Amino acid sequence: MMSRVLMIAGLAGLCAYTLPNLTGRYLDRTPTPVATLPAKPAAAAPAVPAAVGAREVVLPAGPGGHFSANLEVNGRSVRGLIDTGATVVALNESTARRIGLSLSTLDYSISVSTANGLAKAASVTLKRIKVGSIAVDNVQAMVLPDAALSDTLVGMSFLNRLSSFAVEDGALRLKR
């Protein structure tokens, strides 16, 4: 439930950020005849990052319009949701343990508000987050209890380190 609310909040923020730009592009373009549009597949495949260049990745929208990707966090494979509504990257304890963080050394002293209510979180610095060909080192993150967070959220502490990110033609374009 919390992850859905965070996803919706993140997408709302992303829409608010990109809507004026998209509206201008839509109004300025010439209509495409319907006959030339490709048919959509019956079932959407999982979003896979497409490497456009060494410093650019395009993530197609998945089911429900969300942008998720296979990430590499501290050298380990993690599935994550790109969430512009999240201030920092957020991991649950299970994922933190899997990527090599020692939970016994964490200080759960930060109060955070989640869709499931208030929770205590611990601040950490991740060595590296990699999405496709884009890597960012020393990324601020928070670890939350599993009950407070079900998915990994890739928030603004990662996204602000990119040169740009934008939704274009139903895909999220990340540039480093």
In a domain, 105, yes or no: yes
Q: State the Cα–Cα distance between residues 96 and 4, nearest whole angstrom.
A: 20
In a domain, 39, yes or no: no
In a domain, 128, yes or no: yes
- Phi/psi of residue 147, nearest 5 degrees: -65, -25
Q: What's the CATH number where 51 sits?
A: 2.40.70.10
In a domain, 27, yes or no: yes
Please return the burial class of 41, using the count of CB atoms within 10 Å of its CB with bins 0-12, 13-18 and 19+. exposed
In a domain, 59, yes or no: yes
In a domain, 37, yes or no: no
Read off the pTM: 0.69
In a domain, 41, yes or no: no
Per-residue model confidence (pLDDT) at position 22: 39
CB 100 within 8 A of CB 24: no
Domain assignment of residue 134, given as a range: 2-31+46-175
In a domain, 38, yes or no: no
Q: How many CB atoms lie within 10 A of CB 156?
A: 18
Q: What is the pLDDT tens value at each position of the chain, 176 positions in all?
A: 554 544 454 444 444 444 444 334 333 443 333 333 333 333 344 445 555 556 899 999 998 899 999 999 999 999 999 998 899 999 999 999 999 999 999 999 999 987 778 999 999 999 999 999 999 999 999 999 999 999 999 999 999 999 999 999 999 999 99
How many structural domains compose the chain?
Answer: 1
